[in-house]
Structure 1
Amino acid sequence: MYLKDGFSLLLKVRKPKAPVLLCMNVISKHEEVNDTNAQPVRELDVLKRLRCERDIAVALQYFKSLAGSKVFKHTPLTYQVMIERLGWENEMDAVQYLLQQMRLEGLACHEDTFITVIKSYARIGSAEQALKTFYRIHDLGCRPTVRIYNHLLDALLKDNRFSMINPIYSNMKKDGMEPNVFTYNVLIKALCQNERVDAAYDLLKEMSKKGHCPDEVSYTTIVSSLCRSGKLKEAKELVMRIPPAVSIYNALINGIAGEFGIEGVFSMVDEMLGRGIFPNVITYTTIINVLCKLGDLKMSCAVFAQMLVTGCCPNILTFTTLMKGFLEKGRIHEALDMWNWMIQENWMPNVITYNILIHGLCYNGELKKSIAVFNGMEQNGCRPNVHTYGTLIGGFSKAGELEDAVSMWNMMMSSGCKPNVIVYTSMVDVFCRMLMFEHAQDLVKNMLSENCPPNVVTFNTLIRGLCDYRRVGCALNTLDEMRRYGCPPNTRTYNVLLHGLYLDGNYKEAFRMVNEMLECGFGLNLVTYNTMIHGLCRLNMTKEVLLLIGKMTVQGIQPDSLTYNAILHAYCEEGKVKDAAQFLGGLAAMNCARDVVAYTTLISGFCSQQRLEDAMVYLLKMLSEGVSPNVATWNVLVRGVFAKLGCSGPFQLIEDILADGDDHRSTDIKLFATDHQQNIVHFI
């Protein structure tokens, strides 16, 4: 589906689903109960109907039909069940409406109902709204309790609103409420997330003084924080001083895995068993995850089998971890087998599991299979989120499938799912791939108006697209724009621009760009050096290139095959095939691998001088080293044979065209080299 007149359709955001209308006193005629002899409806039956009805819209319609009827009057409990169901569906406007309706009907909001509302806001990451609702607690006929404060503090913690936690905790004390273990655990977690482990230790002491013994959650939080900070020794010492618990050991195992690998993990499991603690599903899943990250799928499957033998049932995270490991290794068949096994075990996949499978399929180029999985999500009651849509749009973008990417974008918008910067960047990428640069630039501008400012990756994507298609002037303008937007360029930005400038033959601007990088404090990495080396090689400045390689080595940057192949190509272009052959021999002395590109370049150089015997010598040499010739190698040799025989035909025509096209560029390059050789040597 192509977009006409810009992309107004593409950027049109529609409201999610149908708006929930809660006109409590309006009942359709066919639902009115005018029969004075109608039997009253029991609260138990209403609760059962509200809980069992799978369709939230039908449940809400039934709830409304009873409002104001003669057969039933809603109670705080029926309101609580309906509020809980709406909260799970993220229909928080409807939840607020019901709270207001309760107040109008004179029904007090119970503690459990209020906690349900706070937890619903916490689930969608809206602690601010939870706090605003808390400030209305007296108006809703409810009194603050320790449990309500605890869940409010937890909501603030989950939303990273650390600055609000201490004032709410102080307010709790002012209300004369003593914190319990749950309260302390939330505060300990908040301190640990702010890397204040010492303060968390002090809070443990305060707990004990107040008569609240720290539990597994308290110690697990601190052990996890110590491991994250790299304080593994302190974490181990703490574990040995406290009562052993499997959750605490799981936290320690997860931390040790990154430092000591699988051997350290197995050692810790032995220690667990020695203290009478047996691994649980989290322990096994952690070990499987470590093995998958190490790429040892065989051992991870062995641990999975051991888990089953010991009678420990895997959970959805275990299956997901193994499935992800298979996908990262490109073993699609085994990953799908694990998926099917998980479903057979009645573990219904959640949105995270779906996203991992879809991402893995897209990563392995299985777009059709990923779409099939996506289509099955809502059928199984799992709603796609922005990561789901973003993964698919990214997959279509890399494949250059504009219509599918736009279709997925519009589907996302229609569902009410707002795109994030990753999704925008994927769309910018696909527009650039299809040479629709105006659409890409307009989309970047639209991100600002949609309160989703483009980041450096977004701008780099646009700049790369422009440079790849020789629109370097526009790319340089984009660099100025990103600075105006307050988005500073990074090394990759400059590298992409350098590549574009060299492609465009604008060597003077490229040299200025390198100086700008250094002035801005950016270090030159391997990509930067390779880009410069390719540019200098086009100037036939191989001596300066060799000096540049020396500078790389001094800075601890090891040249790679791209570096060496550029020099080989430059020697051959200058007709210095003997120097190229000596350079290739020198790579062997330095234990640098010679790849098919290096040999093909040298063979091409010999063929261009009609030295077929030497070319064949290096062909045999590459074969003896286990380097297989590719199509380009054979094409070079065939071209050389035709030239040697003096045959005319398509090859001669191509060579004539290339020769005619290169004369002007070659002259410009030589003039530039003469004018700026001193500057380049000074830089090196």
Structure 2
Amino acid sequence: MARRHLRLPFPLLSRNPTPLARHALCTSTLETPAAAVETPEQATEEAVEGAAAPNLPRREEPLHETILHMIRRRPWTTRLETSIRLHSPSLDAPLVHGVISGAAATGRADLALQFFRFAYRRAGFRPEPATFALLVPILASRRMLNHARCLLLDTMPSFSIAPDEATLAALIAAYGKAAIPQEAVKLFRMMPDLGIPRTALSYNAVLKAILCRGREAMARRIYNAMIADGVAPDVSTYNTLIWGFGLCKKMESAVRVFGDMKGHGVTPDVTTYNTLLNAWVRAGDLESARKVFDEMTGAGIERNSVSYNVMIRGYVASGKVEEAVGLFTEMGEKGVRLSEKTFAALMPGLCDDQGKVAEAQKAIDNMAERRLTPKDKSVFLRLVTTLCRAGDLDGALEVHRKSGKFKHVLVDLRQYGVLMEGLCAGRKFDSAVEVLDELMEKGTLLSPKSPVLEASAYNPVIEHLCNNGSTNKAETFFRQLMKKGVDDKVAFNNLIRGHAKEGVPEAAQEILTIMARRGIPTDPESHALLVNSFLKKNEPADAKIALDSMMEQGHLPSPSLFKSVMVALFNDGRVQTASRVLKSMIEKRVTENMDIAHKILETLFMRGHVEEAIGRVNLMVENGCMPDLDKLLVGLCENDRVMEAQKLADFALDRDFDVGFSTYDRVLEALYTEEKTLPAYSMLCKIKNKGGVVDQKGCDALLESLKSEGYSKQADILSRILMENAPSTSKKGKRVAMGA
């Protein structure tokens, strides 16, 4: 009997499975909620977390980091909560605090809150005052203000934990940063009801919150209430008031607060002086700011980098770059630390002054040596712009290259534009193309945050590329600009000219199609180049299409262009197509190059397209361009196209065109020869009715033919006509009358 193998629903990990494995086996038959269904990858991860291989050493890590890793990598489900309980059946305060701190450190305050709720609702954790002191500021700093408020006012009392001032002050400050001062004031006024005594900590928080919105009158009232309540202001209180009044440009109030400090026994510190300095600079009073700056040393306050930065920024904003450079030099001499803010304050003044560009370049080198990245990334753009305007293109290129070496600096797209424009203006086209290559390689052009390049920046380099056999590169560049919404007529026409010159008219035609679809006007020169490009490739049909497109765009082709297309079509055997070009030319009242027109007409007749040919003749006459009908008729007769000649002669007779009698004689003679008796009779009657003179012998022969063929009636009519219009003069030099 064959042995039957049992198939286990789970892999057999070991004889003594781990708690996680036991849990998997026990719950294998339980119905899993839809929200708790996990992917295979998540199930594998869970198994790896819970079941270590028996022979592999497992890296020990703190339990809170393991739990943090789990909640960051997996969706929050009941199975995840079960996994957490398996790792730690009981959650103590250090573990919960560790997970909350770790989640906050990774920017996931939402996970910190979710884990906290799980811990006290379903894992038996009882929060401590330190738990709320940790979590509320985290939520407040991440603008999760409603959650923080609920924890403070609802959750804490439910655990018989009274809110403390520090936690409440953190929430008040967060409302101020979120520009919701009314909520900050509500919390501040609620403190006595919550049994929380107010100290300078909460007063400072609410003062800053309301001063952020410029409410200095309310700040004065709260400050007066602070004094009335017997709460002693500290240095931070006065610094906040000076900062707020300076923000509102209430300098009298700021100076008064600065004077009140000594009256209350509070000594100003370096932050106090720097705040007052900044207030004066913001108010535009550099003289008062300089007095405060100079008084610092006398007051025993050592000026720091912030003090210098504020003054440098003020001098630069006022156009006093020399004074700013002097303070910058003084910082180096005194060993004051140069920071990113120092260079951010100084560089705008150096970059915008052509006389200071050398110092600006030195400052950039200094920043690179100190590995300082400027916070104001526009300094490179401004310096490159200044150097290009001064004609120092090599210097501009050098600054551009250095800007790309700073960490976290994405070179401004406008900087590329200024540089390409300057290089093209200075005839340094090769360098401009290198800058373009760099721009396209980095993909800066397609960044959604990047502005659109100015036409003066991209058109010169596109024109250069199109004039030097690199139209494909120019088109690739311009198509990226098109994705940003650029529809530039000059660039489009340059691309058409470039493709046409390079012998790729199909690509030029595609550009023309795009222009027509977008309603962008074209240049006649571009169309002419496109037509000639097709002609050079021996593609006259496409040349004709391009010529039609040119006329559809409202441009009038030159007589030579019309002729070139007609000649090419004619030589290619496309006579009727050439005839249509001839029609367009005549309708545009272009009357040059009639030699090719005669060839087209003659060939149309020769091929039997009589109606079309006669229509072209009529069109030419109506537009004051009379063809040589004598030459046409004689040529048709010589080529044995008698019936075509007869139809043309009838057309000329019906419209009284000026045709020589000898020409008609020639046609009649051909008809006699071909024994076309009735057509000859009809034509002869028309000639005689108009008073024309023809050869008598031919008439006599025609009469005999009519009689012999049984057309006696026509013979009698012709006989009478000949007798009535007997010639009285010599027919030498006569032509059929036009107005008979």
Shorter-chain TM-score: what band?
A: 0.3 to 0.5
What TM-score results when the alignment is normalised by the length of structure 1? 0.47
What TM-score results when the alignment is normalised by the length of structure 2? 0.44
Flag the structure with larger Rg: 2
Q: Of the two structures, which has the highest relative contact order with CA contacts closer than 8 Å and spacing of 6 or more?
A: 1
